[in-house]
């Protein structure tokens, strides 16, 4: 299956909460999409857990804000995909997801074999890596 060309591929590798890299990735994705770019997000390693269906729609209650509700990372991914339909895709490495029990993924995310990572990179104008697997 041919892979559509995109302007930018953002590859999130490794532990997504070790730093603020997930926040930066989502901010950059949103800013790029707002400028009309077409982007692809690829998660590997523990970053695949960002869109695991088991996380639900919201985070556990904040004891300091008992009545508040905070979106889970799958919800943030869904919001990005819904806000820019056709301009952004989200892929999760199948091997990494399976190995870490990060399945099932939310239906909006496509599982992809790591064997096609290079092909996806080649179809992107630029690829930026966040973190280390």
Partner 1 sequence: MADYLLVESQGGWLGPGTEAFLRDAVSVAERGDRVWLLLIENGVTGALPGHWPELATLTGLGTCVWVDGYSLEERGFDPAVVAGAVTVVDMDTVAGKLLEPGVRVVWH
CB of 111 to partner 1, least distance (A): 25
Q: Which stretch binds partner 1 (CB under 8 A): 32-40, 45-53, 97-105, 109-117?
A: 32-40
> Cα separations (Å) of 95 from 23, 24, 48, 86?
24, 25, 10, 26
Applying CB under 8 A, among 4, 5, 17, 31 the residue interacting with partner 1 is 31
Cβ-based neighbour number of residue 54 at 10 Å: 13
Residue ranges in 109-128 that form contacts with partner 1 under rule CB under 8 A: 125-126, 128
Q: Tell whether residue 133 is a contact of partner 1 (CB under 8 A).
A: no
Q: Which residue is it, tokens 């990372």?
A: 73
Q: Tell whether residue 5 is a contact of partner 1 (CB under 8 A).
A: no
Cβ-based neighbour number of residue 6 at 10 Å: 21
Q: How far is CA 46 from the centre of its chain?
A: 11
Q: Tell whether residue 62 is a contact of partner 1 (CB under 8 A).
A: no
d(CA 38, CA 118): 18
Residues at the interface with partner 1 (CB under 8 A)? 7-8, 19-21, 23-24, 27-28, 30-32, 34-35, 37, 125-126, 128-130
């Amino acid at each position: 299956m041919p892979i559509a060309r995109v302007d930018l591929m953002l590859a999130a590798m490794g532990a997504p909460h070790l730093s603020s890299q997930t926040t930066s990735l989502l901010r950059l994705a949103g800013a790029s999409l707002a400028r009309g770019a077409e982007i692809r997000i690829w998660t590997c390693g523990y970053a695949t857990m960002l869109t695991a269906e088991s996380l639900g729609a919201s985070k556990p209650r904040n004891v300091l804000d008992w009545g508040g509700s905070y979106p889970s990372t799958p919800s943030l991914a869904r919001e990005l995909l819904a806000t820019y339909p056709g301009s952004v895709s989200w892929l999760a490495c199948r091997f990494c997801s399976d190995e870490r029990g990060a399945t099932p993924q939310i239906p909006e995310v496509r599982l992809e074999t790591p064997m096609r990572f290079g092909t996806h990179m080649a179809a992107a104008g630029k690829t930026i890596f966040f973190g280390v697997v």
